[in-house]
Amino acid sequence: MKKLRFDELSLSEEIQKAVADMGFVEASPIQSEAIPYILDGRDVIGQAQTGTGKTAAFGIPALEMVDTSQKNVQVLVLCPTRELAVQVADEFKKLSKYRKDIHSVAIYGGENIEKQITALRRGVHIVIGTPGRVMDHMERRTLNLENVRMMVLDEADEMLDMGFREDIESILEQVPDERQTIFFSATMSKPIMTLTKKYQVNPQLVKVVKNELTANNIEQLFYEVKPKAKVEVMARLIDMYNLKLILVFCNTKMKVDELVEDLQIRGYQAEGLHGDLRQQQRNNVMAKFRAGATNILVATDVAARGIDVEDVDAVFNFDIPLDEEYYVHRIGRTGRAGKSGKAFSFVVGREIQRLREIQAYTKVKIERGVIPSYEDIVGVKKAKFIEKIKETISEGGLDIFADMIDQLHHAGLSNEDIILGLIKMNMGVQKNEFADMDLSGDDRSERRERRGGERERFGDRGRREDRGGSRDGRSSGRGVRENDRSTNASMVRLFINIGRDQKVRPGDIVGAIAGETGIAGNAIGSIDIYDKFSFVEVPKTDVRKVLELMDNNSIKGKKVNIEIAKQ
């Protein structure tokens, strides 16, 4: 597909200057194809993913066609999520930098509607909104669409998947028949094509071909892993590559929540994003991720639509996506603006066939990765620690601590003891059950493991055996394994007299024990939370300390009793 320079397109001087300020000289493939048709007044169907420049592909022509002598809504852009609406509105503001006479506004749920009404009453030319909030304003008669000349559906497939079809059709019925209609979608599903036939006139299909969807500056690797080892492998890759900002994709909301808890227990700043979150929660999660307060964002494909965060170091496909195009959509979140990025995919058993289908679709070979060993990670951490020590010494200002060496000697510690103790404290390297284990997936071992697990979980009649139960032998009936780490001889199981009824989560228990006793969070083993009580595994060497410091202490403001669990 031929790319055009922006100065080869018939654009106004103001738009040319704005595009130049944004650092663009050459239009992307979707822009090169779509802009001329849209400027010509044609209806267009654009197939393109996030990160291909599709917003400017419809945004530039939309700005060019606005008649500023009229103070009414002339362009309406529908987006599936609040995040995408804000992103599109920001892009419009950048593109209209030298057109102060063009006014646009974003309208979406989760924000004060009165503020939006005030903006609409002042007079705007372009409205970017979610279907639900647009319908709300139409019903209130605060949004008049009778002068709309261009209608854009961005991420049309996603809006249909989210159940907005009725709203979309109601809105399309309210705008004038004499209008230009633009559809942008990642996929060209049957429902999308049905809508285009009904609401577009002789549309021009513009499509980014598959090999242009997969960025060349993204290193793509896959790892065959045991299911229970995924989190450990992910942690090792984060340490090995020193990753700072990470997006992780799961196929289900439940898996997002489970993974976030697992990562938080290991001490990572992780947050989840999925459809069950309220708008304010989504806003808070995204604000923390963009600010770097959260460095790992775990999301489902639906929730991640419209997220545009720069400098994402890596994307993890914790679950292999169910659709080949989702893979392209996911990995396109990294390696942007010419920067390099990494995409890691975890494959379990027969999922290798799905990975082959993805490779055939993208026409890019995804290389097999080698899982870093425990020794590899220790080596990486040692090297980083040495560099950190050297930097600290070079900064100076050590004199104030000089007397501590004598104090440590008087306490009976040798120089070697002092150094090794400080290294252990600062490096935080601690063996877990995965340290000496082969984490790579193997079909035969996986089958044996699954058979063994089935024998453990099911009774003679195939019923799942209740692992819950109170101390007097009665089952709570709602026991849930919150953190599936295997018990071993070096761990002791403790009973705590609070549970789900007190809104306790694994992170609360880990945080309380680690905070009061100084035990590393990743040294704490499995946690089972029931309605009225919980169990937690701690290293045998730390049991006395935990019992002394935690008994009658508080977790989430509740006084707790803690004791060794009865068998």
Cβ pair 290, 349 in contact under 8 A: no
Residue 456 lies in a domain: no
242 and 197 within one domain: no
Alpha-carbon distances, residue 388 vs 51, 228, 396 (angstroms) = 36, 33, 13
Whether 433 and 485 have beta carbons less than 8 Å apart is answered as yes
Residue 185 to residue 200: CA distance in whole angstroms: 15
CATH number for 123: 3.40.50.300
Quote the longest CA-to-CA distance of the chain: 90
Annotate 411-432 with b (16+ C-beta within 10 A) or e (fewer).
eeeeeeeeeeeeeeeeeebeeb
Q: What integer pLDDT is reported at residue 447 of this predicted model? A: 45
Residue 434: inside a domain: no
User: What's the pLDDT score for residue 75?
Assistant: 96
- Do 394 and 516 sit in the same domain of this protein? no
Residue 125 lies in a domain: yes
* Domain membership flag for residue 291: yes
Contact between 261 and 384 under an 8 Å Cβ cutoff? The reply is: no
- Number of separate domains in the chain: 4
Are residues 202 and 333 both part of a single domain?
A: no
Q: What is the CATH number of the domain that holds 539?
A: 3.30.70.330
What 3-state class would DSSP assign to 152? Answer: strand
Is residue 224 within 8 A of residue 370, CB to CB? The reply is no
Q: Select from 208, 238, 271 the last residue of a domain.
A: 208
Q: Which two tokens stand for residue 92?
A: 């419009």
Determine the pLDDT at residue 437: 66
Residues in the chain, pLDDT under 50? 210-214, 443-487
Q: Which domain holds residue 402?
A: 375-427
**pLDDT for res 463:** 30
**pLDDT for the residue 231:** 92
